[in-house]
Amino acid sequence: RDTPAYQHVVAAFRAHRVTSEKLCRAQQELHFQAATYLCLLRSVREHTAIHEEYHGKGERSPEEVAGLVGFRLPQQPGGKG
């Protein structure tokens, strides 16, 4: 609640409240803007989670990389690989 984006959305909603004297068309635009901010925040959180899970681990073995995407490498005859 202390973020600038949250404070901006709350201030915009308060400034464009529907009263008995007028019908504010900007109210629908504010709902759209709030939904857009929500989508942005969710996307940033998902991106951060995915980035931390798959990035910055250094070099990985081929077996580990295959396991990340759900594959198994075939075994070579004679116990190699």
Quote the number of domains for the chain: 1
Task: Report if residue 42 sits inside a domain.
Answer: yes
| Closest C-alpha among 12, 14, 50, 42 to residue 29 | 12
Task: Report if residue 64 sits inside a domain.
Answer: no
Tens digits of residue pLDDT in 16-36: 666 655 556 666 777 888 899
What is the arithmetic mean of pLDDT over 24-52? Answer: 85
Rounded to whole angstroms, the Cα distance separating 43 from 73 reads: 33
Task: Report if residue 67 sits inside a domain.
Answer: no
- Structural domain containing residue 39: 4-56
Task: Report if residue 44 sits inside a domain.
Answer: yes
Task: Report if residue 76 sits inside a domain.
Answer: no
Higher per-residue pLDDT: 43 or 28 = 43
Task: Report if residue 73 sits inside a domain.
Answer: no
